[in-house]
Amino acid sequence: MRLMFGWARRPHQFFIVRLSWTIVLVGEINEEQSSLIPSHCFYHLQIHLFPLLFRYFSPLILLHSITFFLSTQSNIFFISRLSESAMAVDTEPELLPQKKNEPSEDEKRKAKIVPGSLMKAVMRPGGGEATPSEGDQVVYHCTIRTLDGFVVQSTRSEFGGKGIPTRHVLGKSKMILGLLEGIPTMLKGEVAMFKMKPQMHYGEEDCPVSVSSSFPKGDELHFEIEMIDFFKAKVVCNDFGVVKKVISEGQGWESPREPYEIKAWISARTGDGKVILSHATGEPYFFTFGKSEVPKGLEMGIGTMTRGEKAVIFVTSQYLTPSPLITVEDGVEEVQFEVELVHFIQVRDMLGDGRLIKRRIHDGKGDFPMDCPLHDSLLRVHYKAMLVEDKKAFYDTKVDNDGQPLEFRSGEGLVPEGFEMSVRLMLPGEIALVTCPPDYAYDKFPRPANVPAGAHVQWEIELLGFEMPKEWDGLDFKSIMDEAEKIRNTGNRLFKEGKFELAKAKYEKVLREFNHVNPQDDEEGKVFSNTRNMLNLNVAACYLKLGECRKSIETCNKVIEANPANAKALYRRGMAYMTLGDFEEARNDFEMMKKADKSSETDATAALLKLKQKEQEVEKKARKQFKGLFDKKPGEISEVGDGDREERNSGEIQENSDKLEQNEDDKSSEFSDDSTTDDQPRDWLSRFWPAGRRIFSALGLNRCSIL
């Protein structure tokens, strides 16, 4: 008999670290015990005593009492509730209330366990001291017997099973209550017998694990468990169809994804150990991620690995899709893939449609994407440009630029859009091959003479290095405003070139920096406020060009809140309202614009003229839509107005509106010079119900005799 105990004493607390003993019984046992285990077995007994006993009784007295109890009970087989938790008693109450976490479903189930419902006997001891914990995948064989020794179910082939051990992830997989409580007490290689009452196995109320109707759920059963292995597992998919065991960690954090190119050593065996693939010599297996060149489950597992990592990936049958790598016979429920991820090449689908592809040829220095260039960085690159069709180079900086690299600042539209998008996802020293469609290459950029229209091109780009954008910290107010003016001028150039997104990004960059600028006097405050309003107006203009009218209105509101009489803000907000079809709000802004700034009266009048045209277009469309919906009856609805007169007025409005459009496109002036007045008289209905006239007119009812 071996007895071990210990305790630790701290102020206001008493701990029992562990009190356990192991008894070896050799000899005869009664029939009830023989139904559970054979003789010559090891019995493991753990007892936890209440800590306060040590306050009143000497440990030597307790030891003597336990020894006496054991000496008088030579053939006792007793297993207490399986638990390894130490108990602690605080002699002082907590000063602050502690919020208790909501117990998990497994914890609620464990709370229902009663003494004597689960008994454990160790038939063969395991090795080491570690036991499974939550998050570990446990691999074990299980044989279920009745009390008289009849085998009900087994994973072992000698008892009619398939010879494939069971795999569960503690804390995640659905398990019967007895194994949920008992397996965490086992060592690797241990064989134990668990005696379970019905409520501890499939007879549990609302048991999460289903079983066939012929299973004796109401009987007390023996579960013989052999713990083959346990390890920390990465659950790749929620149904546990793909689980990964890491053998050795890889480098970095980046994992492959579609459409990366992969090189890996891959071997495979079935759950019963039969080797079905061995690829450990020659060249590593090469495949493209996302092209169904390996089984789906294997690809999912490799997608969680890093460069150089070794792992075992467990894949169940539903994820063993057909592939060129391996052919799996029918009836195989699980395959274990041993994988070493040798290397992968980053391939990025920049647009998501397969047209703009960046393929890394040589790795750069640093971590992706933290060490990639930021917006407004000064980039230095060497590149060679060629046509996709003939692979013939038409430009090479090392040859055609006297060996000097190309220098440009990102975000300024100085290189084709596809070129810049790719470079901004490169690391210093990286070499990449970029395949670009025409609309992201030279169709929207000055095209070299030897590049035909609509040509697909390839760039082999080497990022030599880059300089981060200049920080504004430590600059005085004048220097800050000078930097802001430079960026604003760049934005204006991009706006004139029709690159509205890039222009907006420039304006917004300055506005973000302005959040950290504090003018020191009234003069600086006035300059700062005017510049900020100007930038917001430019952003609003970009939003208008991009068709994002709501955002344009929000941006104009920022200016109007600071200066309600700002004519440009009222004009642009009115144009946004008019585009959205909110004609009343647009009219209010244009009218307010005339009152706020007399010099813009002609421009506001021209805007009102265009607004009138828009309203007539909507009304005309509505009349066509509702044509024939209402039949005209004598005495109820009068004749519709003269169509020729409407067409004539519409033509005059269109002529003046064209002049307004021409002036709007002139970037040197914000407003046009055309003016006209609305000379149509308003009747009493329009005075009391302004919207009513437009509604009746839209329905073709210009005047109602009843009203």
Domain map (residue ranges) of the chain: 2-93+102-219, 236-345, 349-467, 564-707
- With vertex at residue 367, the alpha carbon angle to CA 365 and CA 368, rounded to the nearest 5 degrees, is 110
pLDDT of res. 191:
97
pLDDT per residue as tens digits for the range 491-525: 999 999 999 999 999 999 999 999 999 999 999 99
Q: How far is CA 230 from CA 327, 434, 580, in A?
A: 29, 46, 63
Which pLDDT score is estimated for 286? Answer: 94
Higher pLDDT, 95 or 258: 258
Q: Does residue 313 have a pLDDT over 90?
A: yes
- pLDDT greater at residue 279 or residue 694: 279
Instruction: Look at residue 442 in the predicted model and tell me its pLDDT.
Output: 94
Across the range 593-611, mean pLDDT stands at: 90
Pick the CATH number of 2-93+102-219 from 3.30.420.40, 3.10.50.40, 1.10.10.10, 3.30.70.1060: 3.10.50.40
Count how many residues are written for the chain.
707
- Write down the pLDDT at residue 166: 93
pLDDT digits (tens, 9 = 90+) for 117-155: 999 999 999 999 999 999 999 999 999 999 999 999 999
Domain 2-93+102-219 matches domain 349-467 at the CATH topology level: yes
| pLDDT above 70 coverage of the chain, percent | 74
Binning pLDDT at 50, 70 and 90, where does residue 392 land? confident
Q: Determine contact, residues 184/133, Cβ cutoff 8 Å.
A: yes
Tokens of 213: 């109707």
Q: What is the mean pLDDT of residues 390-414?
A: 92
Ranges 78-92, 278-292, 686-700: which has the least confidence? 78-92
Of the pLDDT bands very low, low, confident and very high (cuts 50, 70, 90), residue 296 is very high
**If 0-12 CB within 10 Å is exposed, 13-18 middle and 19+ buried, where does residue 235 land?**
middle
The 10s digit of each residue's pLDDT in 326-379 is 888 888 889 999 999 999 999 999 999 999 999 999 989 988 888 999 888 999
Q: Looking at per-residue confidence, does 579 or 470 come out higher?
A: 579
pLDDT of residue 515: 92
Residue 75 pLDDT level (bands cut at 50, 70, 90): very low
Higher per-residue confidence, 97 vs 382: 382
pLDDT for the residue 691: 53
CATH match for 236-345 among 3.30.70.20, 3.90.79.10, 3.30.70.370, 3.10.50.40 = 3.10.50.40
pTM confidence score? 0.58
CATH for the 349-467 domain, from 1.20.58.480, 3.40.50.300, 3.10.50.40, 2.40.400.10: 3.10.50.40
Among 225-234, 298-307, 631-640, the minimum mean pLDDT is found in 631-640
What pLDDT was estimated at residue 574?
Answer: 95
- Of all residues in the chain, the percent with pLDDT exceeding 90 is 60
pLDDT at position 289 over 80: yes
pLDDT at 268 over 50: yes
Return the biggest CA–CA distance within the chain.
121
Query: Taking the C-alpha atoms of 476, 482, 484 and 487 in order, what is their torsion angle to the nearest 10 degrees?
Result: -140
Which one is predicted more confidently, 293 or 657? Answer: 293
The dihedral formed by the CA atoms of 516, 517, 521 and 523, expressed in degrees to the nearest 10: -150
Say whether pLDDT at 294 is over 70. Answer: yes
Q: Is the pLDDT of residue 14 over 80?
A: no
Which pLDDT value is given to residue 211? 92
pLDDT for 62 equals 44
Higher per-residue confidence, 637 vs 409: 409
* Burial class of residue 684 (count of CB atoms within 10 Å of its CB; 0-12, 13-18, 19+): exposed
Residue 11: the pLDDT is 36
User: Which of 109-113, 349-353, 441-445, 688-692 is predicted with the least confidence, judged by mean pLDDT?
Assistant: 688-692
State how far Cα 652 lies from the chain centre.
Answer: 56
For residue 200, the model assigns a pLDDT of: 95
Q: Which residue has the tokens 């194994």?
A: 179
Asked if residue 669 has pLDDT above 60, the reply is no
Tell me: pLDDT of 387 over 50: yes
How sure is the predictor about 598, in pLDDT bands with cuts at 50, 70 and 90? Answer: confident
Considering Cα of 127, then 132, then 136, then 139, what sign does the dihedral take? positive
What pLDDT sits at residue 449? 87
Please tell me the predicted confidence (pLDDT) of residue 690.
54
Give the rounded distance of the alpha carbon of 382 from its chain centre: 34
Q: Does the pLDDT value for residue 706 go beyond 60?
A: no
How far is it, in rounded angstroms, from Cα 494 to Cα 410?
13
Tokens of 589: 């802004």
- The mean pLDDT value for 458-474 works out to 91
Token representation of residue 22: 């192991």
Q: Give the per-residue pLDDT at 99.
A: 63
Band of pLDDT at residue 253, cut at 50, 70 and 90? confident
Q: Is the pLDDT of residue 158 over 90?
A: yes
CA atoms of 574 and 577, how far apart (whole Å): 5
Across 146-155, 453-462, 475-484, 638-647, least confident range: 638-647
Task: Using the structure block, give the residue that is written with the tokens 């297993």.
Answer: 79
Return the H-helix or E-strand segment holding 465: strand 457-467
Indicate the average pLDDT of the chain: 80
Residue 50 pLDDT exceeds 80: no
Confidence band, pLDDT 50/70/90 cuts, at residue 670: very low
Whether residue 674 has pLDDT greater than 50: no
Tell me the C-alpha distance between 455 and 436, whole Å. 9
